[in-house]
Structure 1
Amino acid sequence: MGEIVLVRHGQANSEAKDEDGYDRLTDLGRQQSAWLGEWLAAQGERFDTHLAGGLRRHRETAEAMGLDFSRVQVDPRFDEMDYFNLGKALEETHGVPFPDAEAFADHVPKVMEAWHRAEIRGNETFDAFESRVTEALIDAAQEGRRVLAVTSGGVIAMALRHILRLDPTRFAHILMPIRNSSIHRVHVRGRQMILAGFNATPHLDPPDRATARTTF
């Protein structure tokens, strides 16, 4: 059996108003990632391949985890959707303003549903995003190989949409609670992929780390 372990990046700059401003870890994001790397090492976790998306926050997460980034395979197919542009498109098309933190849970399903219906688009269509994530997941899935991939919440949710055949609304619902630096495990048996773990943050279990359990 093989395994793919998908890791969401540590907390990024949630105060940003665009993708470039968002794409860097906060001090807490670096600490979350360091704790994750320590936990994986303590568990004796070993991987045949290390992958990461091509965004700055992916690299910073991998490095904070203690990975030698020169040995990490960068694959832009693990890059996040451009949510800021999608949110702007939704506002221009349907008059739905970009939300603050409290309204974000209501905003995500509206964006995903409109994007799926091709009423809006950012840098790519919903189908293009789905195709590249699915392709990357299939390429990583090999019997007998353990793969660690540092990526983003939308990519993880899209991987689960593929595995669990989720509709756009449920895809949005599974995206929203994904924590920073969380672990998601997919078991590989032949051509079959089985969800074996979702949104785990054992490195944040100690009570004094409760405030580090963030989603944005």
Structure 2
Amino acid sequence: MSVLYLVRHGQASFGTDDYDRLSDLGKDQSRITGKHLAAQRVAPVRIVHGEMLRQRQTAEGIQTGLGSGLDPHIDSGWNEYQAWELTGALTDPDPRAQKDSKIFQAELERGAARWASGDYDGDYTESFKEFTTRVNTALDDACATMSSGESTIIVSSAGAIAWTAARLLGGGFDQWMAFNRVTVNTGITRIVTGRSGTSLISFNEHGHQIPEKVTYR
């Protein structure tokens, strides 16, 4: 069997003028994740990340901790959906969501339900169906690239990882949202693939981070 380690990016810079960059804690989380994977004797043949800065910075931190000299591959299929676009499309957005992560989460879930309904696709750069289709393709491509016994590390974001887990369990929007809600920064989701198919082995492992360093945004 081949193994895919799907890692959420480290803590980003919520509440600042540029969310798409790691905080100092996020950089620490990334290096700790790499050291953890090295201790588990994970030796990936490739490292992949989406186009977002926070994903690239996390992959760099993982490589530092892992001691890997691999050149990362970029696959836009692992990009996150545009969260601020979802909340911005609401007719009555709560302005406190820009600074309060709990309020933002509630607004995001309202926005995601509207997005996934398919009734307002013209309001978004990417529809929910288009989002899930590209994530499905990215997973299929990653699995097809691996030979027997190989491993790959992919750095992505909560929405894409949550959808991958929901898909492999045969779930839909509700399962996706439940996973999306609890995905931890640098949480590790393990997937195995082989002749019998592709299966979810574990979701959101984060025991490598001490409780004080566990974050959700």
Shorter chain as normaliser: what TM range? 0.7 to 0.9
Distance 2:8 2:196 in 1: 24
Q: Tell whether the 8 Å contact from 2:46 to 2:70 is kept in structure 1 after alignment.
A: no
Q: Tell whether the 8 Å contact from 2:42 to 2:151 is kept in structure 1 after alignment.
A: no
Q: Tell whether the 8 Å contact from 1:112 to 1:168 is kept in structure 2 after alignment.
A: no
Unpaired segments ≥5 residues, structure 1 = none
Distance 1:125 1:51 in 2: 24
- Residue 190 of structure 2 is aligned to residue 213 of structure 1: no
Partner of residue 38, structure 1: 35
The Cα shift of 1:116 comes to 1.2
Q: Tell whether the 8 Å contact from 1:7 to 1:148 is kept in structure 2 after alignment.
A: yes
Q: Tell whether the 8 Å contact from 1:13 to 1:25 is kept in structure 2 after alignment.
A: yes
Deviations 1:166-201 (A, max 9, x none): 221221111011000110001112262211011111
Match of 1:194 among 188, 193, 199: 199
- Residue 167 of structure 2 is aligned to residue 158 of structure 1: no
Partner of residue 88, structure 1: 88
Distance 1:108 1:191 in 2: 37
Distance 2:158 2:49 in 1: 13
Q: 1:29 to 1:54 in 2, by over 3 A?
A: same
Distance 1:185 1:4 in 2: 6
Sequence identity, in percent? 28
Deviations 1:85-123 (A, max 9, x none): 11101x23xx24363322344334322221111244432
Unpaired segments ≥5 residues, structure 2 = none
Deviations 1:146-173 (A, max 9, x none): 1110111111011112211222122111
Q: Tell whether the 8 Å contact from 1:109 to 1:173 is kept in structure 2 after alignment.
A: no
Q: 1:191 to 1:23 in 2, by over 3 A?
A: farther
Distance 2:191 2:14 in 1: 28
Distance 2:23 2:55 in 1: 13
Q: How many residues align?
A: 206
1:42-191 pair list within 5 angstroms? 42-66=39-63, 71-89=71-89, 91-92=90-91, 95-97=92-94, 99=97, 100-120=100-120, 121-142=123-144, 144=148, 145-190=150-195
Q: 1:190 to 1:212 in 2, by over 3 A?
A: same
Instruction: Output the aligned Cα RMSD.
Output: 1.9
The Cα shift of 1:69 comes to 7.6
Output the amino acid matched with 2:44.
F
The Cα shift of 1:141 comes to 1.3
Which is further off, 119-128 or 41-50?
Answer: 119-128
Distance 1:167 1:50 in 2: 28
Distance 1:2 1:155 in 2: 20
Q: Tell whether the 8 Å contact from 1:62 to 1:69 is kept in structure 2 after alignment.
A: no
The Cα shift of 1:4 comes to 1.1
Q: Tell whether the 8 Å contact from 2:135 to 2:160 is kept in structure 1 after alignment.
A: yes
Which is further off, 41-50 or 100-109?
Answer: 100-109
Q: 1:215 to 1:69 in 2, by over 3 A?
A: farther
TM-score (norm 1): 0.88
Matched residue of 1:193: which SS?
A: strand
